[in-house]
Chains A and B, each alone.
Chain A
Amino acid sequence: MTTTPTSAARPDDLRRHNRALVLRRLHVSGPSTRAALAAETGLNRSTIKALVDDLAENGVVAERVPTRRTGAGRPSLLVLPQPNAVVVLAVDIRVDQVAMALVGLGGQILGRCSWGLRAETRVPRETLTKIVDNCELLIEEAGVEVAAVGASAPGVVRRADGLVHEAPNLQWTNVPLGAWLGKALDLPAYVANDAELGALAEHLRGAARGIDDVVYIGADVGVGGGVISSNAPLRGTDGYVGEIGHMVVRPDGLPCYCGSQGCWETEVGEAALIRALGLPDDAPRGVIAAELHQLATQPAELMQRLGEFAQWLAIGLCNLVNLLCPRLVVLGDLFTELPPKLIEHVTDLVRKRSMVSRALGGVRIVTSSLRNDVKLLGAAELAFEQVLATR
């Protein structure tokens, strides 16, 4: 959101900007010394002191003499973000369940709950009611004040007002989730696509920390992607980028609910994995995980049963790597459970087949390190982005 400034920056604007900069730094990188803050933000040491003193006075940070000393001289004070001082509510709506958590400054989870979704409880209004009920319980238990709410939804979401255009696996169309949440909880509410938030969380706190070009691929029931390009999210018009599950990889393949045929999702999504493993159609997530864990110990059987699945995974990944040129690809959700041997095999295939990967000296492909919490933490970051900027 960069607009050309129309007036000169006033000192208090500048101060607010710097304060947000320091707070953001502490939120993302955790406790650091005043000296380190000064070095990283490029601000004067006395400016840092004034800002930190101000934050400490408001209880947002605490200061402590570091226990481990490095170098000579008086040690610089360690600045610790206080998780309870700024808290947001994160909501992760998936196809088969909803998870909620209170997340404090620094990304700490202060309380959480979840419940399963079934065909009859998947309707938008009922889901919203449960979110509101559970929100009250969580806040009461943790005894904190919530500043904003961030939500993740498995579908096409308009960023500006949090309207869920289409979430086919939930069978939601045009649900004004952002407006509803904001009104029901009386808090600022932000909603975004689940894979986009997955990319955000992995970039800030997970496997993709410190890497500027990343693609996150999440496989819940559907397959979606989030892209970080040159250290910023790639959004496209209105923010709809990332429906990578619906690139066609097999024109004579299975029909897809999106209206197309042979989408990548029909070859590597949850249903395809269940088919490849020979499990019953309605196998819950844990059963798939247990089967994959068992396969991980039997390399011969693994390639026999999942060889074709790996081929389709590699085909899609090659396309993505060639198109988006990431340094790292993070596989999330259901893909997290894939055996390491299979991931290695797919990585080799991509390295052999993709020109871009060869040019980069081999793109790395890893599984999510935040596992099931990735979208919760992403949703929390979505809210924190706004909260910390105005604090």
Chain B
Amino acid sequence: MSEPILSLRGVNKSFGPVHVLHDIDFTVRAGEVTALVGDNGAGKSTLVKCIAGIHPVDSGEILFDGKPVHIHGPRDAAALGIEVVYQDLALADNLDVVQNMFLGRERLSGFLLDEAEMELAARRTLASLSVRTVKSVRTPVSSLSGGQRQTVAIAKAVLWDSKVVLLDEPTAALGVAQTRQVLDLVRRLAEQGLGVVLISHNMNDVLEVSDRIATLYLGRMAAELPTRELNHSQVVELITAGRSGDLGLARPDVVTI
């Protein structure tokens, strides 16, 4: 079996006196959905932002495709093939679908933007994901529903041939039906061979869509286990107490914050 596409070893991160991430080991494999769960403030979003290059790590190693890498900013992450989709539907409202998908990385023909080429690529990508709910790629993003916006954000990752997609609560702002459509897309991304990290608070979604579950507890990695070996209450215990039976952190009484 080949190397994990992304792995973190002993990553630490502090904001001033607050030690947010303690010696985190975290692995993302190509073709798997790894769910990242934890209570509020457990360090999920910080971990994602460290991988995305928004926060530099204080110590520890990040390996991409088996090779150590240094991610100094979002551009480095994008160049490696790491794409992030945020919970707050982070697209530019005043731009259309094509412009959003190519934002900051526009294709040129001579000195002009190659609009036709970009439109074609955007359409092809949406079709390859069999996303047919977005009517026209020239619709301004402001007129799309939450689910459609999230679909566009995820399609962006496919367009740029990303290897790892990090989804930070992609369904937090969505209704039930739209959540189902986005989760369906998440599954299909992994089936195409991408490494997917899904942050979610909804246990049913996590158990349904993920292949592995990584639980953060107060900035430590409590457990990283195949989903099939876990049940609902075990995951909840891991999130709230950092341990469940033999699983999780060994002695919670000596854990210091």
Contact = CB atoms under 8 A, between A and B. Distances in A.
Contacts of A372: 188, 191
A97 B31 CA distance: 15
B190 A284 contact: yes
Interface in A261-311: 277-280, 282, 284-294
Interface in A108-140: 108-116, 118, 134, 137-138, 140
Interface string A97-111: 101000000001111
Contacts of B187: 97, 114, 116
A286 B184 contact: no
B146 to A, nearest CB: 12
A289 B193 contact: yes
Interface in B27-51: 29-33
Interface string A362-384: 00000000001100000000000
Contacts of B184: 99, 112-114
Interface string B201-239: 000000011010000000000000010100000000000
A109 B129 CA distance: 11
A97 B209 CA distance: 10
A284 B1 contact: no
B176 interface: yes
Contacts of A289: 31, 191-193
B180 A118 contact: no
Contacts of B5: 290
Contacts of B31: 284-291
Given A286-B193, A289-B191, A280 B130 contact: no
Contact of A113 (B29, B32, B33, B180): B180
A294 B2 contact: yes
Nearest to A99: B184
A134 B180 contact: yes
Contacts of A140: 177
Interface in B158-211: 176-178, 180-181, 183-184, 187-188, 190-195, 208-209, 211
Nearest to B176: A137
A110 B130 CA distance: 10
A138 B177 CA distance: 6
Contacts of B190: 284-286
B133 interface: yes
A138 B132 CA distance: 14
B209 to A, nearest CB: 6
- In which size bucket is the chain B interface? 20 to 34
A285 B146 CA distance: 29
A116 B180 CA distance: 12
Nearest to B211: A284
B177 A137 contact: yes
Contacts of A115: 183, 208-209
Interface in B15-35: 29-33
A118 B228 contact: yes
Nearest to B178: A141
Given A110-B133, A137-B180, A286 B1 contact: no
A285 B29 CA distance: 12
B143 to A, nearest CB: 17
A284 B192 CA distance: 11
Contacts of A112: 130, 181, 184
Nearest to A292: B193
A55 B67 CA distance: 62
B191 to A, nearest CB: 5
A277 B30 CA distance: 15
A337 B192 CA distance: 9
Contacts of A109: 130, 132
A284 B31 CA distance: 7
Contacts of A282: 226, 228
Contacts of A116: 187, 208-209
A373 B181 CA distance: 15
A106 B20 CA distance: 53
Contacts of A138: 177, 180
A290 B5 CA distance: 10
A286 B187 CA distance: 9
Contact of A280 (B1, B176, B194, B208): B1
Given A286-B194, A287-B29, A372-B191, A141 B177 contact: yes
Interface in B60-105: none
B181 A111 contact: yes
Give the most central of A97, A141, A288: most B CB within 10 Å. Answer: A141
A286 B183 contact: no
25 contacts: A109-B132, A110-B132, A111-B133, A113-B177, A113-B183, A114-B183, A114-B187, A116-B209, A134-B180, A140-B177, A282-B226, A282-B228, A285-B31, A286-B31, A286-B192, A287-B32, A288-B31, A289-B31, A289-B193, A290-B2, A290-B29, A290-B193, A290-B194, A292-B193, A294-B2
4 closest Cβ pairs, A-B complex: A286-B31, A290-B30, A290-B193, A141-B177
Interface of A: 97, 99, 108-116, 118, 134, 137-138, 140-141, 277-280, 282, 284-294, 337, 372-373
